[in-house]
Amino acid sequence: MIKKSKAWFCLILTVVMIALMAFTAGHGWGKGTKGSAKNIKLGLDLAGGVSITYQTKDKNPSKTDMADTIYKLQKRVEQYSTEASVYQESSNRITIEIPGVTDANKVLEELGSPGELYFISQKGSDGNDNYSFNSETGKYELAEGKTIESLQEDGSIVLTGKEVSSAKAETTQDDMKNKQNIVSLKFNKEGTEAFATATTAASANGETIGIYYDGEFVSVPTVNEPITGGNAQISGGDMDKDMQIAKNLASYIRIGGLSLALEELRSNVVGAQLGENAIRTSLLAGLIGLILVFILMTIIYRLPGVISSIGLVIYTLLVLIILNAYDITLTLPGIAGIILGIGMAVDANVIIFARVKEEIGGGAKIDNALRAGFKKAFSAILDGNVTTLIAAIVLFILGSGSVKGFAQTLGIGILVSMFTALVAVRWIMYSVYTFGAKDKKFYGEKKMRDPYNFVGNMKKWFAIAGAVILAGFIVMFVNIGKKNNAFNYSLEFMGGTSTTVSFDKEYSLEEVDDQIIPVVEKITGDANVQAQKVKGSNDVVIKTRTLSLQEREKMEEDLAQFGYDADNETPVTTENISSTVSSEMRRDAVVALLVAIVCMLLYIFVRFRDIRFAFSSILALVHDVLIVVLFYAVSRISVGNTFIAAILTILGYSINATIVIFDRIREEMHMSITRETLANTVNQAITKTMTRSIYTSATTFIMIAVLYILGVSSIKEFALPLMVGIIAGGFSSIFISGSLWYLMKTKIGKGKVAL
Q: Are 602 and 689 found together in one domain?
A: yes
Identity of the residue numbered 465: A
Tell if the pTM clears 0.85, that is, is over it: no
User: Exposed, middle or buried by CB within 10 Å (0-12, 13-18, 19+), for 155?
Assistant: exposed
CATH at 306: 1.20.1640.10
Average pLDDT over residues 194-219: 85
Is the pLDDT at 74 greater than 60, yes or no? yes
pLDDT in the model for residue 110: 61
Q: CA-CA distance, 167 to 172, in Å (whole number)?
A: 15
d(CA 185, CA 267): 30
pLDDT at 40 over 70: no
- Measure the CA–CA gap between 603 and 382, rounded to whole angstroms: 12
Amino acid in position 280: R
Distance in angstroms (rounded) separating the CA atoms of residues 102 and 268? 9
Structure-model confidence comparison of residues 50 and 133, the more confident one: 133
Sign of torsion over alpha carbons 545, 546, 550, 556: positive
User: What confidence score (pLDDT) does residue 460 get?
Assistant: 93
Q: Which of 274-283, 288-297, 593-602 has the lowest mean pLDDT?
A: 274-283
| 3-state class (DSSP) for residue 755 | coil
Helix (H) or strand (E) holding 540: strand 539-544
Say if 92 falls within a structural domain.
Answer: yes
Residue 464's pLDDT is what?
A: 94
Separation CA 740–CA 748 (nearest Å): 11
CA distance 98 to 81: 7
CA distances from 717 to 310, 318, 640, 646 (A): 31, 29, 10, 10
Q: CA dist 67 to 258, 478, 527, 546, 590, Å?
A: 11, 33, 28, 19, 18
In sequence order, what are the beta bridge partners of 179?
173
Q: What is the pLDDT of residue 627?
A: 93
Residue 233 in any domain: the answer is: yes
Domain boundary among 548, 577, 606: 577
Closest CA to 53 of 81, 85, 24: 85
Give the number of other CB atoms < 10 A from CB of residue 279. 17
Sign of the torsion angle spanned by Cα atoms 150, 151, 152, 155: positive
pLDDT digits (tens, 9 = 90+) for 368-413: 888 888 888 888 888 888 888 888 888 788 776 667 777 787 788 8
Distances (CA, A) of 238 to 135, 244, 246: 17, 10, 8
Percentage of the chain modeled with pLDDT above 90 = 4
pLDDT of residue 754: 43
- Is 583's pLDDT higher than 70? no
Report the Cα 652 to chain-centroid distance in Å: 13
State how far the Cα of 34 lies from the Cα of 26, in Å rounded to an integer. Answer: 10
Is there a domain that residue 489 lies in?
Answer: no
Q: Is residue 485 part of a domain?
A: no
Do 132 and 229 lie in a common domain? Answer: yes
CA distance 269 to 101: 8
Question: Average pLDDT for residues 130-138, to the nearest whole number?
Answer: 87
Indicate if the alpha-carbon torsion angle 535, 537, 538, 544 is positive or negative: negative
User: Has residue 123 got a pLDDT over 70?
Assistant: yes
pLDDT the model gives residue 332: 64
pLDDT band at 631 (very low <50, low <70, confident <90, very high): very high
Are 199 and 345 part of one and the same domain? no
Q: Which of 29-38, 228-237, 358-367, 487-496 has the lowest mean pLDDT?
A: 29-38
Task: Write down which residue in 554, 577, 600 finishes a domain.
Answer: 577
Cβ pair 263, 94 in contact under 8 A: no
Is residue 265, in this structure, part of any structural domain at all? no
Supply the CATH number for residue 224's domain.
3.30.1360
Residue at a domain's end among 534, 558, 577: 577
Q: Where is 720: in which H helix or E strand? A: helix 713-731
Mean pLDDT of 46-69: 78
Measure the CA angle with vertex 270, ends 268 and 274; round to 5°: 160
**Rounded to 5 degrees, what are φ and ψ at 275?**
85, 165
Residues 732 and 622 in one domain: yes
Contact 271, 517 (CB under 8 A): no
Verify that 676 and 535 share a domain, yes or no. no
Instruction: Read off the CATH number of the domain in which 539 is found.
Output: 3.30.70
Question: Backbone dihedral region of 241: left (phi > 0), alpha (psi from -120 to 50 degrees) or beta?
Answer: alpha
Pair 358, 462 in one domain? no
The Cα 45–Cα 89 span in angstroms is 19
Same domain? For 61 and 132 the reply is: no
- Report whether 499 contacts 541 (CB < 8 A): yes
**Same structural domain for residues 397 and 459?**
no
Give how far the C-alpha of residue 375 lies from the chain's centroid of Cα atoms, to the nearest Å. Answer: 33
* 348 closest CA partner among 312, 400, 402, 394: 312
- How far apart are alpha carbons 211 and 255 in whole angstroms? 13
Q: Which residue has the higher pLDDT, 221 or 645?
A: 221
Residue 527 lies in a domain: yes
Sign of the torsion angle spanned by Cα atoms 89, 94, 100, 104: negative
Q: Which runs of E-coded beta strand occur in 79-156?
A: 85-89, 93-99, 117-121, 131-134, 139-142
Distance CA 726, CA 699 (A): 10
Q: Are strands 496-502 and 572-577 parallel, antiparallel or unpaired?
A: antiparallel
Confidence of residue 462 (pLDDT cuts 50, 70, 90): very high
Residue 288 buriedness (CB in 10 A; 0-12 / 13-18 / 19+): middle
Q: Residue 54 belongs to a domain with what CATH number? A: 3.30.70.3400
What's the rounded Cα separation, in Å, for the pair 733 and 740? 10
701 in the same domain as 662: yes
CB atoms within 10 A of CB 694: 13
* CA separation for the pair 166, 171 (Å, rounded): 16
Torsion-angle region of 529 (φ positive above 0: left; ψ -120 to 50: alpha; else: beta): beta
Residue (of 328, 326, 315) closest to 418 by Cα position: 315
CA dist 646 and 336 (Å) reads 7
pLDDT tens digits, 402-455: 677 777 877 888 888 888 888 888 888 888 888 877 887 888 777 667 788 888
How high is the pLDDT of residue 753? 47
Alpha helices in 115-228 (DSSP H): 148-154, 189-205
Same domain, 553 and 617: no
The answer to whether residues 709 and 734 belong to one domain is yes
Alpha helix segments (H runs only) across 362-456: 366-398, 402-419, 425-434
DSSP 546-593: PPPHHHHHHHHHHHGGG-B-TT-S-SEEEEEE--SS-HHHHHHHHHHH
> CB 611: neighbour CB atoms within 10 A?
15
Mean pLDDT to the nearest integer, 530-540:
77
For CA atoms 388, 389, 390, 396, the dihedral sign is positive
CA-to-CA distance for 223 and 717, rounded, in angstroms? 58
| Tens of pLDDT, residues 676-714 | 678 888 888 888 888 878 888 888 888 888 878 877 666
Helix (H) or strand (E) holding 184: strand 179-187
Check whether residue 148 and residue 21 sit in a common domain.
no
Q: Let me know if residue 480 belongs to a domain.
A: no
- Is residue 422 situated within a structural domain? yes
Do 88 and 70 contact (CB within 8 A), yes or no?
A: yes
Rounded to 10 deg, the angle between the 611-635 and 713-731 helix axes is: 140
Structural domains of the chain, count: 5
141 near 134, Cβ under 8 Å? yes
Q: Percent of the chain beyond pLDDT 70?
A: 82
The average confidence (pLDDT) of the chain is 79
Residue 539 scores a pLDDT above 90:
no
Nearest Cα neighbor of 237 from 264, 256, 217 is: 217
Q: What pLDDT score does 672 carry?
A: 44
Range of the domain at 645: 455-474+582-747
How far apart CA 661 and CA 148 sit, in angstroms, is: 67
Helix and strand totals (H; E) in the chain: 23, 17
Which pLDDT score is estimated for 671? 46
Q: What is the pLDDT of residues 157-195, one digit of tens each?
A: 988 877 887 778 888 876 666 778 888 888 888 888 888
Report the pLDDT value the prediction gives residue 43, as an integer from 0 to 100: 61
* DSSP bridge partners of 160: 118
